Copies of this chain bind each other. A is one copy, B any other.
Amino acid sequence: MESTIVNDIDIFQRYQQIRKQTEVICEPLNPEDYVVQPVEQVSPPKWHLAHTTWFFETFLLNNYKPGYQVFHADYNYLFNSYYESIGKRALRTDRGNITRPGVEEVKEYRRYVDEHLLNFLSESSLSAECYKVLEIGIHHEQQHQELLVTDIKYILGHNPVFPAYFDKQPELSGNPLPLEFLEVPEGIYRVGHQGTGFCFDNELSCHQIYLDAFRVMNRLITNSEFQEFISAGGYQKFQYWLMEGWEWVKSNDIKAPLYWHYINDDWHAYNLRGLESLDPNAPVTHISFYEADAFARWKGLRLPTEFEWEVACKMHQPEASTAAGFLEDGNFNPGASRNGNLQFLGDAWEWTGSPYRPYPGFDQTEGALGEYNGKFMINQMVLRGGSCATARNHIRHTYRNFFHPHLRWQFTGIRLAAPTE
């Protein structure tokens, strides 16, 4: 890689803002909340605070700042997530057993690395290589901000006393847009990231695909629409389900989306304000791919592929709506589609019908950062569009999120598609 010198004042500010944002998310927590890992995929908030810091320390300071002393020799072992290249690491399932370092020590770790990093940035011009790692580190931390929100929700929302994270008043969620189809004509389209802006390696290379004409809904499926599926016996009829989905339903006794509770003849849902009556107009979230797929089959429709989604989004909602919910809005809960917001970006991640696989020209980065995306490209499904826990400047039309089809602790929702008649 050429080592052009980069002068980007903005990135210093962004670094500081993002680091600050992470800590703001954690402010309402008690020390006890920072520690636990109730299921494998939910990491302790303390771990997120430390791991994002370890990322900058390991990939930037260790590699590029001569004479840098790590904050603590054991942290590489404790806070490496999955980078085999970087050496041994604690078992993922042990994250919730590690009480020391405590929250205060982890915050000190954050200050230490921030100070050294800002010194490093101010002392020298930034090589293109460093700039790229710094940029990845910032986006990496934004990804963990989203995980922080959903992991905190899981930790508090699975506590039998349903504690509130904050006492924010709910926004009134008005009537959603009437359901309609948006049309996309047959054609050859370019998909994947173009241009010079930041993207992850899994969005490359930009390439052509052919699409038949299709239609896609103008907003996300709402809670009340999903209730109809439940009322129609959707969780009891194998016809709607993939075989592995049906086994998942039966062996986990699934009867509703995660966080839904049927109390006194009415559906309630936990959100970060506590346990509340279900908002009928908000998009359904916290569903697995299996549920999204079964819902679509029940409707006689299907999920869009990731490319159909990308093309439709670029065509119909090239800019994120100001009515959409993002991390910065601080609701951590999606709202109804208001003011013509088509909800492609923000509110809820949309399950697509596409498995997560490399693009034709995918070229895995050399070294440890090559482990960032490529090695997960099996048995997972692509989600598009970001959610109410995604930073507004983190999301793109070409952004590919991915989860195993049974997982539902993220803000995951449904948009339906169909061939053009």
Nearest-Cβ distance from residue A153 to partner chain B, whole angstroms: 13
Near B by CB (< 8 A), chain A positions 204-227 give 207-210, 212, 214
Nearest-Cβ distance from residue A231 to partner chain B, whole angstroms: 22
CB nearest neighbor in B for A308: B360
Distance in angstroms between the alpha carbons of A289 and B357 in the assembled complex: 13
Q: Is A78 an interface residue (CB 8 A)?
A: yes
With A210-B209, A238-B84 in contact, is A99–B378 under 8 Å at CB? no
With A188-B188, A244-B379 in contact, is A155–B97 under 8 Å at CB? yes
A97 touching B161, Cβ below 8 Å: no
Contact partner, A32, options B34, B94, B405, Cβ 8 Å: B34
Residues of B within 8 A of A96 (CB): 36, 96
With A31-B102, A244-B378 in contact, is A210–B238 under 8 Å at CB? no
Near B by CB (< 8 A), chain A positions 59-112 give 72, 74, 77-78, 82, 84-85, 90, 94, 96-103
Residues of B within 8 A of A46 (CB): 32
Q: Is A346 an interface residue (CB 8 A)?
A: no
Among A103, A207, A375, find the residue whose CB has the most chain B CB atoms closer than 10 A: A375
A379 touching B379, Cβ below 8 Å: yes
Nearest-Cβ distance from residue A165 to partner chain B, whole angstroms: 11
CB nearest neighbor in B for A94: B38
Q: Is A354 an interface residue (CB 8 A)?
A: yes
With A30-B102, A353-B357, A405-B379 in contact, is A188–B210 under 8 Å at CB? yes
Distance in angstroms between the alpha carbons of A289 and B379 in the assembled complex: 12
Nearest-Cβ distance from residue A348 to partner chain B, whole angstroms: 21
Count residues of A near B (Cβ-Cβ below 8 Å). 64
Distance in angstroms between the alpha carbons of A414 and B38 in the assembled complex: 37
Residues of B within 8 A of A360 (CB): 212, 214, 419
Q: Is A242 an interface residue (CB 8 A)?
A: yes
Nearest-Cβ distance from residue A384 to partner chain B, whole angstroms: 16
A160 touching B90, Cβ below 8 Å: yes
Distance in angstroms between the alpha carbons of A155 and B94 in the assembled complex: 11
CB nearest neighbor in B for A377: B242
B379 touching A82, Cβ below 8 Å: no
A378 touching B405, Cβ below 8 Å: yes
A100 touching B161, Cβ below 8 Å: yes
CB nearest neighbor in B for A90: B160
Residues of B within 8 A of A208 (CB): 210, 212
Among A38, A99, A100, A160, find the residue whose CB has the most chain B CB atoms closer than 10 A: A99
Residues of B within 8 A of A188 (CB): 188, 210
Near B by CB (< 8 A), chain A positions 184-239 give 188, 207-210, 212, 214, 238-239
Distance in angstroms between the alpha carbons of A419 and B207 in the assembled complex: 12
Residues of B within 8 A of A289 (CB): 378
Q: Is A344 an interface residue (CB 8 A)?
A: no
Residues of B within 8 A of A72 (CB): 161
CB nearest neighbor in B for A101: B161
Q: Is A389 an interface residue (CB 8 A)?
A: no
A35 touching B32, Cβ below 8 Å: yes
Residues of B within 8 A of A77 (CB): 160
Nearest-Cβ distance from residue A46 to partner chain B, whole angstroms: 7
Contact partner, A33, options B30, B100, B158, B160, Cβ 8 Å: B100
Q: Is A163 an interface residue (CB 8 A)?
A: yes
Contact partner, A30, options B36, B100, B156, B375, Cβ 8 Å: B100
Near B by CB (< 8 A), chain A positions 145-180 give 155-156, 158-161, 163
Mind listing 9 A-B residue pairs with CB under 8 Å? A31-B32, A78-B160, A84-B246, A97-B159, A100-B163, A208-B212, A245-B378, A353-B358, A355-B357
